[in-house]
Structure 1
Amino acid sequence: MSPPQDPQDPLDPVDPVEGGRAIEEPVPEPVRRRRGWAVDTTPLRIPAYRRLFGGVALTMIGQQMTLVAVPFQVYALTGDSFFVGVTSLVALVPLMVFGLLGGAIADVMDRRRLMLITSTGAAVTSALLAVQALLPGGGDLALLWVLTAFVSGFAAVNQPARSAAIPAVVGIPLVPAANALAMTVRQVGVIAGPLLAGVLIASGELFLTYVIDAVGFLVAALLLRGLPALPPGGRAGVVRLGAAVRGVGEGFAFLRTQPVLLMTFVVDVIAMLFAWPQAVFPELEATRFAGSPNALGWLFAGVSIGALVMGLTSGWVSRMDRQGAAVLVAIVVWGVAIIGFGYAGSLWLAVLFLAVAGAGDMVSAVLRSSMLQLAAPDDMRGRMQGVFLVVVAGGPRLGDLRAGALASAAGVTVAMVSGGVVVVLAMVAVALLVPSFWLFSASRSAVDTDSAASGK
């Protein structure tokens, strides 16, 4: 089913969807040249993609406000960074389970319908988070953990469906540019959300922080209603739990035949597990940076400040051919910056190092996501994006647990510096021990991925 054409948009270079697959007409070369280093906005000419993009833009500020509010509330209730780390573990379990199942469901169910269901569910859950914030004593830890698990579960099903739909909406040539756009607008939300949350929380408006998230999801659901049907592979079937579980197994079986793609997960797990800094932010706000205005908001926004700057200048990333080498270098930048953050004695220096780390992470995320979307067939993309979600969202949660526990036992500096050193050494080891990943080229076809990974 094709979406209605936008009569006010005569410059569409790509017909959005035809029979569940995009018509892959080339983008005019002069347009590409004019882009230079700037982010490529060509996918925004496609009406269906604009709806997906708008949904991301509307929900990101509220989501990021909630990601600040929950650890703040946990620390306020317990006074211990360890419990902040445990909260991330609470979110990790449903994320892993429903991320994998959600990816399998997205490969058999109409992806538009799946996004509508999960966006509505997330809106309801965020509203319940607002209600619990009004409870006597500033909330209830057990209830907060339960609702956090539900938020994680809805997001885990929504994100694979949204990502898997992108190639069908924009066409294969525009996938890297579409990813860069989506990730760039996410960074705007990740910057604005924490800063706004910091102001509201300091004013005693924890309730309003959660309400904004609920409203964002509700409006995003209304936008999704205007999308065409997005059946995987041009057709959708009946969702059965047993078939979804088998689908997860099929996804991992496919992944085992693609060693280079498997390594994209491994390197990101290392980067996030050993150098994700978020769990120590509340402690830093209360100790090292206690005299700095809105320190909590700036710390939570720091990584995304760098990611946003990189996203706005990401035209060169979309044209990157040596993707494997670029990913490893970007993660080394992340690790070195986290070492600097661990030693930073002032808020502005800490935010600067976090911004450098975010720039490296942005490059890594765009390239790894594009490799997955292009190498997998359409009826496998949901499962690959499910695994991707588990890794990119689960890794930081495990990293929160590690950083929170180590910071509680040995201090923030030890937790951050030791993790950054491990990341840098690990990337050097990957480059030396897995040269096929270092040499991987985007110009090689998907059928050549396995032979490239084996060094042939």
Structure 2
Amino acid sequence: MAASFRARLARLRVDLTPWRGSRDFRILLVSGSVFFLGAMFGYVALPFQLYSLTQSNFAVGAMGLINIVPLVVFGLYGGALADHVDRRKMLIFTGLAQVVVCAVLLANALLASPQVWVIYVCGALNAIAASLQRPSRDALFPRVVKHAELPAAVALNALTLQAGQLVGPALGGVLIGTAGVAWAFGIELVAFVIATLLYLGLKPYRVGEHSQPPSLRVIGQGIQYAARRKDLLGTYVVDMVGMFMAMPIVLFPAFATDVLKEPKLLGLLYSAEAVGALLATLSSGWTQRVHHHGRAVVLAAACWGAAIGVAGLAPNIWFALVFLALAGASDMVSGLFRSVIWNQTIPDEMRGRLAGIEMLSYMLGPMGGQSRSGLVADLTSVRTSIVSGGILCVAGVAATAAALRDFWRYDARTDEHAVRERELRAAAEANEA
């Protein structure tokens, strides 16, 4: 009985095979973790600084509106670039750009009267750099590990990111409360420098000889490919709907200060989702035995919305933290299965463009959701905004699943795209051996 129980626990553990077998995977994982950890300090500092300067929830949420155009334009262009140039160079140059932007934010924070317009401009510039960088990084992951190791690689990447999201906001909140936002931007700057230097250790990753330079036609080919494949379309739409309807992060300063009366515990609100996500990732071994990935994405996204809605009713901060953690676990499960669909079914020559589209769905939903949450909160109340968002999320995800039945029926064992990529990678790995 004890041996059987231990065996079941072992099947839940994260698979470390990609870490042991690929040097470049280790570099991507460590550099990305450092980069993300530093970004979490700025993630807390920037909205806190905006709210302190303006006392407006909408002013904080407006950062999402300002970033939408850069994300759309440069996300799509960055995806096309990732299918044409050396992806290693893209990581290095965009990392340097983010170092410069962060240095400007730090300088502005050190002024006696920080300028709000500088914060918005830097937010837009950072969105441009991130939009150009992320497709190249996402497109590299399937290249640095074996095809069969992709689910484990996705889980390991998610694990390190969630650890950063857990530690970063909590430390950032404490640091801001004790030393000020300038210190948070300073730590973010150091992390960006270290991560960019680590990218230098990657070997070059050029695409095929017949790759095409970025153009509207090339970008359009990627969009048409995604639109034709209902399984991919479902991953984008479900995530965008869920995040647009239920994204209360912009309200956390007001929620902690005005509703829950616990301003010193603001950092815990930012970290709660990461706690749930981290626990979900640490026990992600079971995901390798699930084949109906679309169904798992839909159910997890609906659970996210339900948990967010209940958190909005919280009588105290501890109640809110529990349900935000449940929301984070649900979001992590959804993200894991979305990533597996992308990595196991998209051909390498299209991976950059599809990563750009994926990034847009991942970023535009939350940014639009932050603006929606801030506006509804200013028109009604913070609680009303959070609870109504959770209800709308569940309804919207259910409607999306009903409209995209092919996504609901997706099965990795029989899907034609998954089968083709599996066979191509098996042949390539056999040739390398």
**Does TM, normalized by the shorter one, top 0.5?**
yes
The CA deviation string for residues 17-73 of structure 1, in whole angstroms up to 9 with x for no partner, is: xxxxxxxxxxxxxxx999510111111111110000001111111101111111001
Give the Å deviation of 1:293: 6.1
The residue correspondences of 1:119-138 to structure 2 (distance < 5 A) are 119-137=95-113
Is it true that 1:209 corresponds to 2:179 in the alignment? no
Give 1 or 2: higher helix fraction: 2
Q: State the alpha-carbon separation in 1 of the partners of residues 306 and 352 from structure 2.
A: 33
What CA RMSD, in Å, does the superposition of the two structures yield over aligned residues? 1.9
Q: State the alpha-carbon separation in 1 of the partners of residues 283 and 180 from structure 2.
A: 36
For the Cα contact (< 8 Å) 1:288–1:345, is it kept in 2? no
Q: State the alpha-carbon separation in 2 of the partners of residues 163 and 313 from structure 1.
A: 23
The residue correspondences of 1:256-271 to structure 2 (distance < 5 A) are 256-271=227-242
The residue correspondences of 1:269-288 to structure 2 (distance < 5 A) are 269-288=240-259
Q: State the alpha-carbon separation in 1 of the partners of residues 64 and 369 from structure 2.
A: 9
**Matched residue, 1:144:** 119
**Matched residue, 1:64:** 40
Is it true that 1:91 corresponds to 2:67 in the alignment? yes
**Matched residue, 1:163:** 138
Give the Å deviation of 1:361: 0.5
The residue correspondences of 1:296-315 to structure 2 (distance < 5 A) are 296-315=266-285
- Equivalent position amino acid for 1:136 in 2: A
Q: Of 346, 349, 353, which aligns to 2:316?
A: 346
Consecutive unaligned residues in structure 1, runs of 5 or more: 1-31, 451-456
For the Cα contact (< 8 Å) 2:108–2:115, is it kept in 1? yes
Give the Å deviation of 1:446: 3.8
**Matched residue, 2:335:** 365
Distance 1:272 1:207, change over 3 A: same
For the Cα contact (< 8 Å) 1:104–1:245, is it kept in 2? no
Q: State the alpha-carbon separation in 1 of the partners of residues 145 and 77 from structure 2.
A: 25
Q: Of 48, 56, 68, which aligns to 1:80?
A: 56
Is it true that 1:393 corresponds to 2:363 in the alignment? yes
Q: How many residues align?
A: 413
- Equivalent position amino acid for 1:113 in 2: K
Give the Å deviation of 1:316: 1.2
The CA deviation string for residues 376-430 of structure 1, in whole angstroms up to 9 with x for no partner, is: 1101000111011111111101000000000011111211111111121223333
Q: State the alpha-carbon separation in 2 of the partners of residues 395 and 267 from structure 1.
A: 10
- Equivalent position amino acid for 2:247 in 1: W
Consecutive unaligned residues in structure 2, runs of 5 or more: 1-6, 421-433
TM-score (norm 1): 0.87
For the Cα contact (< 8 Å) 1:258–1:449, is it kept in 2? no
Q: State the alpha-carbon separation in 2 of the partners of residues 293 and 71 from structure 1.
A: 14
- Equivalent position amino acid for 2:121 in 1: V
3-state SS of 1:420 partner: helix
Q: Of 169, 186, 195, which aligns to 2:161?
A: 186
Give the Å deviation of 1:443: 1.2
- Equivalent position amino acid for 1:124 in 2: V
Q: State the alpha-carbon separation in 2 of the partners of residues 286 and 327 from structure 1.
A: 34
**Matched residue, 1:113:** 89
- Equivalent position amino acid for 1:197 in 2: G
Q: State the alpha-carbon separation in 2 of the partners of residues 320 and 414 from structure 1.
A: 36
**Matched residue, 1:16:** none
Q: State the alpha-carbon separation in 1 of the partners of residues 342 and 146 from structure 2.
A: 15
3-state SS of 1:343 partner: coil
Q: State the alpha-carbon separation in 2 of the partners of residues 226 and 66 from structure 1.
A: 26
Give the Å deviation of 1:236: 8.2
Distance 1:49 1:421, change over 3 A: same
- Equivalent position amino acid for 2:82 in 1: A
Distance 1:120 1:439, change over 3 A: same
Give the Å deviation of 1:183: 1.2
3-state SS of 2:259 partner: coil
3-state SS of 1:203 partner: helix
**Matched residue, 2:429:** none
Q: State the alpha-carbon separation in 2 of the partners of residues 246 and 431 from structure 1.
A: 30
Q: State the alpha-carbon separation in 1 of the partners of residues 156 and 417 from structure 2.
A: 27
Q: Of 189, 192, 215, which aligns to 1:244?
A: 215
**Matched residue, 1:102:** 78
- Equivalent position amino acid for 2:126 in 1: V
**Matched residue, 2:350:** 380
Q: State the alpha-carbon separation in 1 of the partners of residues 162 and 35 from structure 2.
A: 12
For the Cα contact (< 8 Å) 1:374–1:446, is it kept in 2? no
For the Cα contact (< 8 Å) 1:337–1:354, is it kept in 2? yes
Distance 1:383 1:88, change over 3 A: same
Q: State the alpha-carbon separation in 1 of the partners of residues 164 and 210 from structure 2.
A: 33
The residue correspondences of 1:3-82 to structure 2 (distance < 5 A) are 35-45=10-20, 46-82=22-58
Distance 1:219 1:410, change over 3 A: same
Identity %: 36
